[in-house]
């Protein structure tokens, strides 16, 4: 198809698995590909380029990739589409993927997004298959890729660091994303100013361990100071960040929640297990007492602070008693929501060597019990918001009804209410009329002062 610029435009379909970091990486891929005249399509069967952006953190990652590749084989045969695998599985499997899938054209490692157009050009012009999984020690892979005019949004992710030095015993991130690397603050602030000029109201700062921001960069500022400078940027109304490691949650960062008006009162603080014995085996570097102290301090500064977390059940050696301690922690903290997973082995990690693996059936039973307890807590918390007025940043039309708009409270709860498209990008007062397990219903207050 010939586009407005008189150039042949092609279509790219990206299938994304896993975390927000991966979602943002897919967005970065779309941005770099626009320079090569590839525009996004939501239909794989009309794509000239299909990218599968993978995640190793969730269960059965390789299995998912191979079944997706099987689905797209036909598009390759019918349209000659170029097929690539990106993300953590690409990084980990590398050439093995090309060996196993003869119709796969590209393997794009976690540090190769900025050179994706070069890799693509190579495939297009030579027909040769490419695999790029080197680690870029200088960190140029993190450089800003500015959005083009075709992607206006209310909120945007901004990567501030990548990789991790913690080596938790179950996690592949240090192996597939590399060691911790922060971006220079000037570059991050520039990117956010640019986003603000284009109408972005909320930024979510991304990294595997954002509170470690600045480590290893000469003469750089720390994470609380970075937040404070973003707080000054005109046009930005809300700041969020994810993910934080409890060990690195400093007093200065906790205090930032009371000092910075744009920093939203929500923190995602994974605890992974409520048992000190299991935390030690996970190499997490904190105790349950110290985790609880941090939550207490956060709530002392911001009583309305919403807290969400990640938790793993069935880590090797987890006994009934350890699991009960996890449930006790959940009841004590009263999380707003939890992302809960059954432990599953990741190749190359320390925990993969442990021989006291928990039976699958027990893991599943524990997960069901835990999720039911959390479901009740989340519902109770959402019901408690009924009758309150919340500031909602309006994001767009609700998925539930095209008569409704959807947005989020400062505490990151999703709210649906009757409204129109003119509200998109505005912060409006909404009185909450009903709390559900996963969202809130409300009505917009027209005459609120």
Question: Contact residues for ligand SF4 (CB under 6 A)?
Answer: 164, 166-168, 171, 173-174, 208-209, 245
Token pair for 403: 């008569």
Write the burial class of residue 424 (CB in 10 Å: 0-12 exposed, 13-18 middle, 19+ buried): buried
How far is the C-alpha of 381 from the C-alpha of 256, rounded, in Å? 25
For residue 271, the minimal CB distance to ligand SF4 (Å) is 11
CA–CA distance from 245 to each of 207, 228, 268, 368 (Å)? 11, 20, 9, 26
Distance CA 25, CA 22 (A): 5
Task: At 164, list the tokens.
Answer: 């991790």
Nearer to ligand SF4, 62 or 248 (CB): 248
Instruction: Give all strands of the β-sheet with 306-313 in edge-to-edge order.
Output: 266-268, 306-313, 337-342
Cα separation, 446 vs 344, in Å, equals 50
Question: Minimum distance between the CB of residue 164 and ligand SF4, rounded to whole angstroms?
Answer: 3
Residue 44 or 314: the one with the smaller Cβ distance to ligand SF4 is 314
Chain centroid to CA 307: 16
Q: Measured from the CB atom, is 174 or 407 closer to ligand SF4?
A: 174
Residues 227-260 as b or e (16 or more Cβ within 10 Å = b): bbebeebeebbbbbbbbbbbebbeeebbebbeeb
CB 62 within 8 Å of CB 101: no
Please, what is the minimum distance in Å from the beta carbon of residue 176 to ligand SF4? 10
Smaller CB separation from ligand SF4, 164 or 370: 164
**Closer by beta carbon to ligand SF4, 271 or else 335:** 271
Q: Which is nearer to ligand SF4, 13 or 241 (CB)?
A: 241
The residue (of 282 and 394) whose beta carbon lies closer to ligand SF4 is 282
Q: How far is the CB of 358 from ligand SF4 (least distance, A)?
A: 19
Contact 139, 186 (CB under 8 A): no
Question: Where do the DSSP E strands lie in 217-355?
Answer: 238-242, 266-268, 306-313, 337-342
In the bound state with ligand SF4, the residue whose beta carbon lies nearer, of 56 and 325, is 56
Answer whether 394's CB lies under 8 Å from 407's CB.
yes
Please report how close the Cβ of residue 270 comes to ligand SF4 at its closest, in angstroms: 7
Question: Looking at beta carbons only, is 246 or 435 nearer to ligand SF4?
Answer: 246
- 3-state secondary structure at position 232: coil
Question: 4 is written with which tokens?
Answer: 């407005």
- Strands (E) in 133-221, as ranges, are 155-159, 161-162, 181-182, 202-206
């Amino acid at each position: 198809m010939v586009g407005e610029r008189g150039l042949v435009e092609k279509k790219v379909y990206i299938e994304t698995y896993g975390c927000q970091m991966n979602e943002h990486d897919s967005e970065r891929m779309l941005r770099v590909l626009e320079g090569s005249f590839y525009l996004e399509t939501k239909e794989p069967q009309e794509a000239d380029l299909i990218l599968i952006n993978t995640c190793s953190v969730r269960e059965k990652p390789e299995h998912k990739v191979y079944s997706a590749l099987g689905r797209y084989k036909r598009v390759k045969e019918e349209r000659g589409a170029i097929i690539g695998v990106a993300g953590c599985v690409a990084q980990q499997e590398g050439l093995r993927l090309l060996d196993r899938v003869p119709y796969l054209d590209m393997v794009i490692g976690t540090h190769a997004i900025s050179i994706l157009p070069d890799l693509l050009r190579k495939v297009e012009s030579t027909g040769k298959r490419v695999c790029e999984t080197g680690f870029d020690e200088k960190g140029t892979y993190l450089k800003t890729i500015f959005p083009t005019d075709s992607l206006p949004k209310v909120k945007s992710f901004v990567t501030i660091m990548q990789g991790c030095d913690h080596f938790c015993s179950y996690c592949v991130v240090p192996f597939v994303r590399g060691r911790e690397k922060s971006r220079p603050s000037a570059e991050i602030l520039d990117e956010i100013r640019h986003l603000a000029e284009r109408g972005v109201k909320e930024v979510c700062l991304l990294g595997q361990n954002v509170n470690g921001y600045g480590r290893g960069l000469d003469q750089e500022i720390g994470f609380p100071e970075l937040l404070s400078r973003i707080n000054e940027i005109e046009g930005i109304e809300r700041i969020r960040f994810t993910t934080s490691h409890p060990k690195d949650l400093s007093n200065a960062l906790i205090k930032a929640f009371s000092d910075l008006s744009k920093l939203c009162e929500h923190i995602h603080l994974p605890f992974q297990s409520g048992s000190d014995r299991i935390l030690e085996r996970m190499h997490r570097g904190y105790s349950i007492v110290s985790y609880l102290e941090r939550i207490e301090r956060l709530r002392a500064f911001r009583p309305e602070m919403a807290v969400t977390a990640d938790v793993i059940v069935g880590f090797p050696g987890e006994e009934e008693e350890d699991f009960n301690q996890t449930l006790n922690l959940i009841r004590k903290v009263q999380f707003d929501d939890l992302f809960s997973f059954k432990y599953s082995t990741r190749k190359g990690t320390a925990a993969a060597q442990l021989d006291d693996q928990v039976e699958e059936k027990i893991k599943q039973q524990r997960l069901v019990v835990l999720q039911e307890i959390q479901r009740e807590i989340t519902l109770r918390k959402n019901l408690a918001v009924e009758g309150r007025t919340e500031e909602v940043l309006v994001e767009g039309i609700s998925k539930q009804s095209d008569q409704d708009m959807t947005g989020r409270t400062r505490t990151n709860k999703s709210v649906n209410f009757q409204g129109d498209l003119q509200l998109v990008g505005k912060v409006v007062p909404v009185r909450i009329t009903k709390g559900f397990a996963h969202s809130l219903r409300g009505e917009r207050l027209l005459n609120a002062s």
